[in-house]
Amino acid sequence: MSDEEGSEEYLFKIVIIGDSAVGKSNLLSRYARDEFNAHSKTTIGVEFQTQCLKIDGKEIKAQIWDTAGQERFRAVTSAYYRGAFGALLVYDISRRTTFDSVSRWLDELNSHCDSTVARMLVGNKSDLENIREVTSEEGKTLAEAEGLFFIETSARDSTNVRTAFEIVIREIYNNVSRKVL
Residues found near ligand GDP in the complex (CB under 6 A): 20-26, 37-40, 42, 124-125, 127-128, 154-156
Provide, rounded to whole angstroms, the least separation between the CB of residue 162 and ligand GDP.
14
Contact 53, 166 (CB under 8 A): yes
DSSP label at 43?
P
Distances (CA, A) of 136 to 64, 93, 101, 129, 163: 25, 8, 16, 11, 17
Q: What angle do CA 153, 83, 57 make, to 5 degrees?
A: 65
Please, which residue, 66 or 143, has the CB nearer to ligand GDP?
A: 66
Please, which residue, 37 or 78, has the CB nearer to ligand GDP?
A: 37
Please, which residue, 13 or 156, has the CB nearer to ligand GDP?
A: 156
Which residues is 62 bridged to in the sheet?
12, 51
Provide, rounded to whole angstroms, the least separation between the CB of residue 28 and ligand GDP.
8
Provide, rounded to whole angstroms, the least separation between the CB of residue 22 and ligand GDP.
4
Please, which residue, 68 or 148, has the CB nearer to ligand GDP?
A: 68
Provide, rounded to whole angstroms, the least separation between the CB of residue 54 and ligand GDP.
27
Contact 65, 28 (CB under 8 A): no
